[in-house]
Structure 1
Amino acid sequence: MNIKPLTIGNLIAKIPVIQGGMGVGVSLSNLAGAVAKEGAIGIISAAHSGYLEEDFETNTLKANLRGLAKHIKKAKEISCNGIIGVNVMVAMNNYVEHVKTAIEAGADLIISGAGLPLSLPEITENSSIKIAPIVSSSKAVRVILNYWKKHFNRTADAIVVEGPLAGGHLGFKKNNLEEEISNFDTNILNVINEVKNFEKEFNKSIPVIVAGGVFSHDDFVKCLNLGASGVQVATQFVATHECDAHINFKKAYVNCKKEDIELTISPVGMPGRAIKNKLTEQLKNGKIKVTKCYNCLIPCNPADTPYCISSALIKAVKGDIENGLVFCGANAYKINEIVSVKDILNKLVFN
């Protein structure tokens, strides 16, 4: 198969793969830099990107913005100035500040989901950074891009369509999941067709990237044959030497079985896919008291949230995989060893 580069405006990735953003601390500069160095697109998650900064507990926002800038610059160095993007969730508090920090630090791309990024063109105005919303349906494409057209006379530089086999928070209702899984190919085609309308209107190419459950070379080829310009992959990159997470976190992926992967509740109000452990079992029996609020998510109220997702994710990425939240994609059980980023890309794209 003739593999074409992924072109997003003036950004050209010779390998049409975006490494998905994984917070907290799973995809920072080491992973993103290594992916971009190989010719794909590396993504840093803006979710608590400063969790290792000395003042994180006392001045969380300041630490996170400093950490984000630091990791963008370090990833650029590692990748020899490769393409580095940032995943910024709309549901985050201080969304604007994180986007602006990414721009100032030299990021090339903002990928934004967990809500509708309606204000993104305004925040990124007068910068050269590319913007790509994450959508779960053609309806979401219409809503976002019609709003951008009406209010900013702007459209997306790329679209990421994420399916129900993805890791972490899912943009689908739990009771519709099986139906969404069986309809995902049709959903991809519908998104591509919807995007074509905006390509014509703005006379520009808007590549569609498929995310969620892309694991094998066959998956990769199938997405391109459906008309996508590339894929976004996250789960596989956890089990790499270059991933920023603790070795225990990586081993949790290597050691998990299919039956260990389940949907759990989240303070965001969406289902989340994670590896079953002591924490997820506890949550089936009730709430876990929040002792400190990191003021991270807009929808979260410490008084009635089932648990603190920041605390749970930080514990996991630091290696406490029983009391922390280990988000993963549906195919994590297929991983059986820790390899290099280069190995993942070669197997996925070139087989």
Structure 2
Amino acid sequence: MTITELLGIQYPIFQGAMAQIAREPLVSAVSNAGGLGIIGSGGMSADVLREEIRKVKAATDKPFAVNLMLMMPNIPELIGVILEEGVKIVTTGAGTPAPYMPILKENGLTLIAVIPSVKIAKKMEALGVDAVVAEGTEAGGHVGETTTMALVPQVVSAVSIPVVAAGGVADGRGIAAAFALGAQGVQVGTRFLTTFECPTHENFKKAVLDADDTSTTVTGRSIGGPVRSIKNSMIAEFLKLENEHASREELEKISLGSLRRAVFEGDTDRGSVMAGQIAGLCNELTSVEEMIAGMFAEAQQHLDRLGALSLTPKTPVQA
């Protein structure tokens, strides 16, 4: 079964569950355009999540999902809301869903785990998840160590469930490449930041639009929580402190609340503008519908072109 058949979506594209950003305006637009919109529950209370779910259900009758950051302490409450509100698809990250698998599966939910390595992909398949998102280090936000190009084919070879590629995808070439690596779909985050429906401050969008291929860097490796963001004065200060072997407490003093500052207040100098290395390709504002349709039309053109290529050496004609 393909990922589109499994989820009942038109296009095999997931919208990344970006904390503070993946809320109703973006989620419902993605689902209405034929992809899988995903509510990012990171930092949400049970009441806020319930409100977002109800807003999405009022705005679309298409499939959508809720992402659970499993490191959060209120996961049991959030799962209660998901079950009560009849959400059918859950994606997970930042931990193992093992403690919650029985209740999720008993209620017939489709479960998809975001993973950074082959080892974890195998563990997720053994747990009984329905698919995995193999996310490379190129992605924005919390990242692993392995690149998408290296990670995806290894995960595809290691598991029998559908694999979705994430990290470094922002146009049709990225989609075509993901399929060439064996993925059944893509998860996209950074490109959705430059859509009209994305509910971020205009300064945040401008920072992504102005970014190039070297604009991002990773912080937090020293404390076991690497995050990719666009460089600014706060990021520079954070990295300086990391190089000086500052404690977690010292680092959190300057980073606490930084994502909200960027997303809602538009402070792109002292806030955290989480974005991926592919930001340099995200240089125009479009609607979600235009973006998705355009990306897949371009991907099809590239796949058709590649299908006409022959890489097998021709046998020389004998004289």
The TM-score with structure 2 as length reference comes to 0.84
Secondary structure of the structure 1 residue equivalent to 2:25: helix
Aligned partner letter, 1:142: K
Partner of 2:313: none
1:119 paired residue among 83, 99, 109: 99
* Unaligned runs of at least 5 residues, structure 2: 299-319
Secondary structure of the structure 1 residue equivalent to 2:8: strand
- In the TM superposition, 1:43-192 aligns within 5 A as 43-49=38-44, 64-79=45-60, 81-146=61-126, 148=127, 155-172=128-145, 180-181=146-147, 184-192=148-156
2:282 paired residue among 298, 314, 335: 335
Tell me by how many angstroms 1:193 deviates. Answer: 2.6
Within 1, Cα distance between the matches of 2:224 and 2:231? 19
- In the TM superposition, 1:222-237 aligns within 5 A as 222-237=177-192
Within 2, Cα distance between the matches of 1:110 and 1:230? 17
Larger radius of gyration: 2
Q: Quick one: structure 1 residues 34 and 305, their matched pair in 2 at CA, closer, same or farther if it must change by over 3 Å?
A: same
Within 1, Cα distance between the matches of 2:248 and 2:225? 16
More helix per residue: 1 or 2?
2
Equivalent pair of 1:72/1:106 in contact (CA under 8 Å): no
Within 2, Cα distance between the matches of 1:126 and 1:304? 44
Partner of 2:167: 212
* Unaligned runs of at least 5 residues, structure 1: 50-63, 149-154, 173-179, 197-205, 288-300
Tell me by how many angstroms 1:110 deviates. Answer: 1.1
Equivalent pair of 1:14/1:39 in contact (CA under 8 Å): yes
Equivalent pair of 2:18/2:40 in contact (CA under 8 Å): yes
Partner of 1:258: 213
Secondary structure of the structure 2 residue equivalent to 1:119: helix
1:315 paired residue among 261, 279, 303: 261
Partner of 1:22: 18
Q: Deviations over 1:56-97 (max 9, x none)?
A: xxxxxxxx2111111112112222x11111111122222222
Q: Does 1:272 align with 2:245?
A: no
Within 1, Cα distance between the matches of 2:253 and 2:290? 37
Partner of 1:344: 291
Q: Quick one: structure 1 residues 266 and 186, their matched pair in 2 at CA, closer, same or farther if it must change by over 3 Å?
A: closer
Within 1, Cα distance between the matches of 2:111 and 2:104? 8
Q: Quick one: structure 1 residues 36 and 268, their matched pair in 2 at CA, closer, same or farther if it must change by over 3 Å?
A: farther
Partner of 2:252: 306
Q: Does 1:39 align with 2:37?
A: no
Tell me by how many angstroms 1:5 deviates. Answer: 6.6
Computed over aligned residues only, the root mean square deviation of the Cα atoms, in angstroms, reads: 2.2
Tell me by how many angstroms 1:256 deviates. Answer: 2.0
Q: Deviations over 1:109-156 (max 9, x none)?
A: 11111223222313414312211111122211222333x2xxxxxx11
Within 1, Cα distance between the matches of 2:151 and 2:113? 16
Tell me by how many angstroms 1:266 deviates. Answer: 6.8
Aligned partner letter, 1:129: L
Q: Quick one: structure 1 residues 46 and 267, their matched pair in 2 at CA, closer, same or farther if it must change by over 3 Å?
A: farther
Q: Quick one: structure 1 residues 342 and 207, their matched pair in 2 at CA, closer, same or farther if it must change by over 3 Å?
A: same
Q: Quick one: structure 1 residues 69 and 266, their matched pair in 2 at CA, closer, same or farther if it must change by over 3 Å?
A: farther
Q: Does 1:283 align with 2:247?
A: no
Secondary structure of the structure 2 residue equivalent to 1:82: coil
Tell me by how many angstroms 1:315 deviates. Answer: 0.7
Within 2, Cα distance between the matches of 1:32 and 1:271? 26
Aligned residues between the structures: 292
Within 2, Cα distance between the matches of 1:167 and 1:99? 26
Within 1, Cα distance between the matches of 2:82 and 2:251? 29
Tell me by how many angstroms 1:261 deviates. Answer: 1.4
Within 2, Cα distance between the matches of 1:159 and 1:215? 20
